[in-house]
């Protein structure tokens, strides 16, 4: 009797706590900007798959910008990411575990940041100016990846982060 009372009090406390976190943690709008038109079928399929899965978790938008020289593409990236958290995808950047990525995104959300922009470059990569302006220069791996493949890996990680934030069982360690 006492145990069941304690359990029901605990359950309702937990319920209120969950409600409170829903109110205090707001979710950012994630924009992914990729240089160049999508061309590889297997990447188009991967991109579509993760974007579809992500619709359940918040606002995730993919934009393609015109390909070109490193200077032109980085300039377009800089303009498109004004006023947003800037995440520059670059093999020279910081390598993160998925848990570290969850922490970074959750910290930005707790701080009230409204937008995060993830930028994928063209064949010649990003300019040092764009890298210097970034809140995070993120290397998915020390390997150089084809840019569309980098996009698929990025989207899979954003999906993984979203499921971890919701406490869903996609991620296993």
Ligand X SMILES: C[S@@+](CC[C@H](N)C(=O)[O-])C[C@H]1O[C@@H](n2cnc3c(N)ncnc32)[C@H](O)[C@@H]1O
If the CB atoms of residues 55 and 144 are measured against ligand X, the closer one turns out to be 144
If the CB atoms of residues 12 and 146 are measured against ligand X, the closer one turns out to be 146
Q: Check the annotation: does 89 bind a ligand.
A: yes
Interacting residues of 38 by C-beta distance below 8 A, sequence separation 6+: 44, 47, 64, 148
Compute the least distance from the CB of residue 151 to ligand X, in Å: 8
* Contact between 1 and ligand X per CB under 6 A: no
Site residue total, ligand X (CB under 6 A) = 18
* Contact between 139 and ligand X per CB under 6 A: yes
What is the SS3 string spanning 19-60? HHHHHHCCCCEEEEEEECCCCCHHHHHHHHHHHHHHCCCCEE
Q: CA–CA separation, 92 vs 98, rounded Å?
A: 18
Q: Check the annotation: does 17 bind a ligand.
A: no
Q: Check the annotation: does 97 bind a ligand.
A: no
* Contact between 123 and ligand X per CB under 6 A: yes
* Contact between 36 and ligand X per CB under 6 A: no
If the CB atoms of residues 97 and 144 are measured against ligand X, the closer one turns out to be 144
List 60, 118, 121, 155, residue binding ligand X (CB under 6 A) = 121
* Contact between 126 and ligand X per CB under 6 A: yes
Binding mask 101-120 for ligand X (x = CB under 6 A): -------------------x
Q: Check the annotation: does 143 bind a ligand.
A: yes
Q: Which residues are annotated as a binding site for S-adenosyl-L-methionine?
A: 89, 121, 140-145
Q: Which positions touch ligand X (CB under 6 A)?
A: 89-91, 120-121, 123-126, 139-141, 143-147, 150
Annotated binding site: 89, 121, 140-145
């Amino acid at each position: 009797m006492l145990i069941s009372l304690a359990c029901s009090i605990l359950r309702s406390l937990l319920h209120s706590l969950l409600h409170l976190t829903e109110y205090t943690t707001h979710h950012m709008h994630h924009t992914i900007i990729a240089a160049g038109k999508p061309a590889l079928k297997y990447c188009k399929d991967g991109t579509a798959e993760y974007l579809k899965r992500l619709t359940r978790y918040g606002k995730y938008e993919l934009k393609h910008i015109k390909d070109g020289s490193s200077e032109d593409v980085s300039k377009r990236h800089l303009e498109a990411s004004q006023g947003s958290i800037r995440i520059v995808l670059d093999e020279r950047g910081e390598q993160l575990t998925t848990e570290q990525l969850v922490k970074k995104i959750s910290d930005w959300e707790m701080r009230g940041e409204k937008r995060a922009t993830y930028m994928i470059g063209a064949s010649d990569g990003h300019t040092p100016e764009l890298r210097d302006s970034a809140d995070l220069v993120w290397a998915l791996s020390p390997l150089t990846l084809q840019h569309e493949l980098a996009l698929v890996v990025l989207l899979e990680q954003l999906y993984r982060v979203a499921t971890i934030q919701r406490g869903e069982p996609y991620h296993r360690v």
